[in-house]
Amino acid sequence: MKSPGFTVTAVASLALGIGANIAIFGLVNAVILRKPPLEKPEELVRIYEDSPRYPYQPFAYPDFEDLRDGTLDAFSGVAAIETTVGQVDRGGNIEALLGELVSVNYFQLLGFQAAIGRTLTYEDDVAPGAHPVLMLSNGYWRRAFGGDPDIVGRYLRVNGRPYTIVGVVPEDYHGSLRGIMPDFYASVMMYDELNPDTRVILETRHSHRFFAIGRLDHGVTMAQAEAAVERVAEQFRKDFDWNDDSGFLLVRMADIIIHPPVDRFIRAAAWLLSTVVGLVLLIACTNLAGFLLARSLDRRKEIAIRLAMGAKRRALVGQILAETTLMSLLGGTAGIAVAKGLLVVLSSAELPLPIPIQLDLSIDATVLAFGFVASVVAGLFLGLIPAVQGTHLDIAPTLKDEGAGSGSSRRRLSLRNGLVAAQVAVCLVLLISAGLFLRSLQNAQSIDPGFGNEPAAMISVAMSTEKYSGDEGRLFM
């Protein structure tokens, strides 16, 4: 209160540093830490076909069926998943929607019930193409139908065929791949209907498209489940000429972000981003610690009087740390507003990807807890050196304003110079790293792919099946 200019400057500096850390942690939380509310997630595993040449490979559908039927003693259920794109025609308005084709036991396996209506059932899985039904994602249901509670029983025309809407998935489920949110879910039996350019995929063992999720049966360990899938692999080696080093690989779902080979890069990028913004906060704290060290010279007489009156050094250190922590908490509070702004920018960024990435970048309790911890740690860090140095002084010369405290002043000056040097060193590391990154990006963009890429565009043409018959549509194309 006595130094409002300094306080406002300090809070603003900390708001930028802490806000950047909260924003990046919010991104890390959305991508890595936040887990969907699955029932007994420790029992869920991803199952991959695996070989030295093709590690973590998805299944051909007949392979999936054989694995499912051959591991009934290890898994209470195994489900298949595949991503698809459907052309949806709503009153002549055409849009491409992302969907997931799943086994009908998929939602029961994960422990989800439908928010409205029902999930897919075994009656929807009797034969390929026989039951055109689907469930809507909660987001698409609200976006396209305004959250109409009477949506069940209505039709959605997908790829020219009407599909009956049987239910809406819960709001807190966003699909099997983090950041990629499907708009609808249909049975895997509708694969050839929704992908008309690829026929009889459900019958061939040469098209590996389906990922598998299994739930360990009660009391079954990972070792027992691995032994069960190995028995199926041995049979495959006899029947389908599998190599001796080919088999199946089980990975707990709790350890997977998107796909194990990709996850290594995601985690590395997350650590890198966290380190960079952590260094930014370190710069801010070091800068403010230098200022506080300088300001401690102005408070040396106050501290000397307190010591002369019997105050303990521990109490004075606690008082100064309380002041800096309070200031840091104010900076953290302002940093939440900064983080919200940064997360809005991140969520609105359009990446040049064929499938839109959608992440829930809301600030939840985990992110707020991180912001609080970061604020307290920052307050303790920036106040520790001034607190320790400011309370170690010669009382009598200080009260008399004599030069006996010059040794203490020299120590403070040396510390301030050290803080400045550390600040410059960290800034230099960040600047060089940023320069290397920009140069690498520039080099990557200047690579000649060997064919022309400008001027060019990719165009998708879609037409209403209600306005054009088959012949008219072909003529239009």
What single-letter DSSP state applies at residue 198?
S
What single-letter DSSP state applies at residue 127?
S
| Predicted pLDDT at 404 | 46
Structure tokens at 3: 């130094």
Q: Summarize the confidence of residues 223-236 as an average pLDDT.
A: 93
Lowest mean pLDDT among 207-211, 251-255, 268-272, 285-289: 285-289
For residue 449, pLDDT beyond 50 = yes
Each residue's pLDDT tens digit, 377-416: 988 887 877 777 666 666 667 666 655 455 555 666 677 7
Element (H, E) at 208: none
CB-count exposure of residue 384 (10 Å: 0-12, 13-18, 19+): middle
| Predicted pLDDT at 225 | 94
Q: In 3D, which of 184, 200, 43 has the Cα closest to residue 102?
A: 184
CA 296 – CA 461 distance, rounded (Å): 70
Q: In 3D, which of 157, 143, 229 has the Cα closest to residue 194?
A: 157
CA 402 – CA 57 distance, rounded (Å): 78
Element (H, E) at 215: strand 211-216
CA 262 – CA 55 distance, rounded (Å): 12
Each residue's pLDDT tens digit, 19-76: 999 999 998 888 888 887 788 889 999 999 998 888 899 999 999 999 999 999 999 9
Structure tokens at 35: 């887990």
Crossing angle of the two packed helices 260-298 and 406-445, in degrees rounded to 10: 150
To the question of pTM greater than 0.85 for the whole model, the response is: no
For residue 88, pLDDT beyond 90 = no
CA 187 – CA 381 distance, rounded (Å): 56
Q: What percentage of the chain carries pLDDT values higher than 70? A: 91
